Amino acid sequence: MEERDYSEMLKKVKSSVQKREEKKRFQIPKPEIITEGKLTIIKNFKEIVDVINRDESHVYKFLIKQFGLSGDISDGRLIFKGKPPEGSIEKAFQEYLRTYVQCYECGNYDTEMIREFRNEVIRCKACGAERPLHAHKEIKYSEEKIEERKTYELEVTDLNRDGDGISIKGDITVIIPGAKKGQKVTVRIDRIRKNYALGILVKKN
């Protein structure tokens, strides 16, 4: 990669990161969880779904799949027939936000889920960016943190508006110029800013 191209790309990423850091952190209501015998109940499920502006059945199916439990929605409450691991429900909601709500371009959560040509996409109301909706992402409960200048084996799961590869590592979205969707790559982390990082493509595996 030429030095000029790299500098321009780095400036673009820094500018995007700075805009995200200026935004007030998006928060959803803390899940109000109670247990009744073998049932686990999220009392304020509807309130959470309304805040993130998604269909309650979509959120329900996501949570049910992650925990491998059956359940039901009743009077705005989500009822699991079983007990998810302690602390995992809040992590699951955060994973849902990253997968189905947050804009990969500007980090904004003011997005909508729409259908275009038989495909579902996430459209950002703030910057206009769109990305395909992928429903095969699973929760990873790892607390692993990435570090600058270290290399990692990653899988490119999506592309941003500029065609740069995107991979998720823990809580970090890694932008990988030159990588293509579906590739498994070795990446050196060049810069980390909050929940976004710039990766340098070392090799395609």
Those residues with Cβ within 8 angstroms of residue 44's Cβ, 6 or more apart along the chain or in another chain: 29, 31, 32, 76, 77
Query: In which band, very low, low, confident or very high, does the pLDDT at 166 lie, cut at 50, 70 and 90?
Result: confident
Mean pLDDT of 47-54: 95
Edge-to-edge strands, sheet with 119-124:
111-116, 119-124, 130-132
Q: In this structure, what DSSP letter does residue 102 have?
A: S
Provide the token pair at 87. 């602390």
Give the CATH fold of the 26-139 domain.
Defensin A-like (3.30.30)
pLDDT at res. 205: 83
Mean pLDDT of 82-101: 90
* Every domain of the chain and the residues it spans: 26-139, 142-205
d(CA 181, CA 107): 20
Instruction: Choose the most confident range, by mean pLDDT, from 8-22, 29-43, 100-114, 137-151.
Output: 29-43
Query: In which band, very low, low, confident or very high, does the pLDDT at 136 lie, cut at 50, 70 and 90?
Result: very low
Q: How far is it between the farthest Cα atoms of the chain? A: 63
Q: What is the DSSP string of 8-77?
A: HHHHHHHHHHHHHHHSPPP--PPP-EEEETTEEEETTHHHHHHHHT--HHHHHHHHHHHHT--EEEETTE
pLDDT at res. 72: 94
CATH architecture of 142-205: Beta Barrel (2.40)
pLDDT at res. 25: 60
Determine if residue 28 is left, alpha or beta; phi over 0 gives left, psi from -120 to 50 gives alpha, anything else beta. beta
d(CA 45, CA 79): 9
d(CA 186, CA 12): 22
Those residues with Cβ within 8 angstroms of residue 40's Cβ, 6 or more apart along the chain or in another chain: 33, 34, 79, 80, 82, 83, 84, 89
pLDDT at res. 144: 60
Check for a shared fold between 26-139 and 142-205. Answer: no
Q: Are 146 and 170 in contact (CB under 8 A)?
A: yes
Does the pTM surpass 0.95? The reply is no
Query: In which band, very low, low, confident or very high, does the pLDDT at 99 lie, cut at 50, 70 and 90?
Result: confident
